[in-house]
């Protein structure tokens, strides 16, 4: 278990019944929604391990869909998330998988907008509402979802990481955790940066204007 404080053990303010199966699931769904940057028209949710066995009884299905609808862990609409999704035009499909994953509370979420935009993330619910995003569009990484964070999609080229961190340093933004992932040398890469302070609009604009940066997404603000 990876806890950072007593509040991780107690768990967040939430709609029950389980911090790992409900609050954590909602947080994973909400990160997926943030990355997608809009409400999708379809969500395919693949469940593994404990999630696959108990997702209906523990409300994991409701929580995941609620997160995709951009509901927080304490939102009173969570018990009606499936109905709200249907009414809002969001098609939801659940798949239970037999594959053994590194963590029993693992979910893969695929989002679509019907116009060619797609997103795939893999997340795990560690306990106490704490989560980690371990994969985004096949890029391996680690994102806790607990601190202000950005995802920088960029070209894998010399000096790009330095350019990004220089902008953050200029504005006195301290980096708490940072990972860089790429599929192939010289191809598209991603940076995940967790910070001690949220990213202001001016800093965001500077980062997006950097040569070689394709996209900057504020994951937790």
Residue 101 DSSP class: P
CA dist 19 and 86 (Å) reads 25
pTM: 0.80
What the block records as the tokens of 167 is 């902008």
Which of the pair, 214 or 58, is modelled with greater confidence?
214
Whole-angstrom CA distances from 205 to 38, 59, 86 are: 20, 39, 36
| Range scoring the smallest mean pLDDT among 1-10, 80-89, 153-162, 176-185 | 1-10
Mean pLDDT, residues 156-166: 95
81-97 tens-digit pLDDT: 999 999 999 999 999 99
Omega before 175 within 30 of 0, i.e. cis? no
CATH superfamily of this structure's domain 149-220: ACT domain (3.30.70.260)
93-124 tens-digit pLDDT: 999 998 777 778 899 999 999 999 999 999 99
| Range scoring the smallest mean pLDDT among 25-29, 82-86, 108-112, 147-151 | 147-151
6-143 and 149-220, same CATH topology: no
Mean pLDDT, residues 17-21: 56
Instruction: Give buried/exposed letters for 83-103 (b at 16+ CB in 10 A, else e).
Output: ebbeeeebebebeeeeeebee
CA dist 78 and 74 (Å) reads 8
CATH architecture classification, 6-143:
2-Layer Sandwich (3.30)
For the chain, the domains span 6-143, 149-220
Q: Report the Cα–Cα distance between both ends of the chain, in Å, rounded.
A: 25
By three-state DSSP, how is residue 201 classified?
helix
């Amino acid at each position: 278990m990876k806890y950072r404080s007593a509040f991780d053990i107690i768990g967040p303010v939430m709609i029950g019944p389980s911090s790992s199966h409900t609050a954590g699931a909602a947080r994973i769904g909400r990160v997926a929604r943030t990355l997608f940057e809009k409400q999708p028209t379809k969500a395919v949710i693949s469940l593994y391990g404990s999630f696959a066995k108990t997702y209906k009884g523990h409300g994991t299905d409701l929580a995941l869909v609620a997160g995709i609808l951009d509901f927080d862990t304490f939102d009173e609409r969570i018990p009606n998330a499936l109905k709200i999704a249907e009414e809002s035009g969001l098609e939801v499909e659940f798949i239970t998988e037999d594959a053994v994953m590194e963590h029993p509370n693992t979910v893969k979420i695929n989002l679509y907008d019907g116009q060619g935009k797609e997103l795939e993330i893999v997340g795990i619910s560690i306990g106490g509402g704490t989560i980690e995003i371990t994969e985004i569009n096949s890029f391996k990484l680690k994102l806790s979802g607990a601190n202000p964070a950005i995802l920088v999609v960029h070209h894998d080229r010399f000096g790009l990481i330095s350019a990004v961190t220089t902008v953050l340093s200029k504005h006195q933004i301290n980096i708490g955790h940072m990972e860089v992932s790429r599929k192939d040398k010289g191809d598209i890469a991603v940076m995940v940066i967790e910070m001690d302070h949220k990213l202001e609009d001016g800093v965001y604009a500077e980062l997006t204007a950097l040569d070689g940066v394709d996209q900057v997404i504020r994951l937790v603000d």
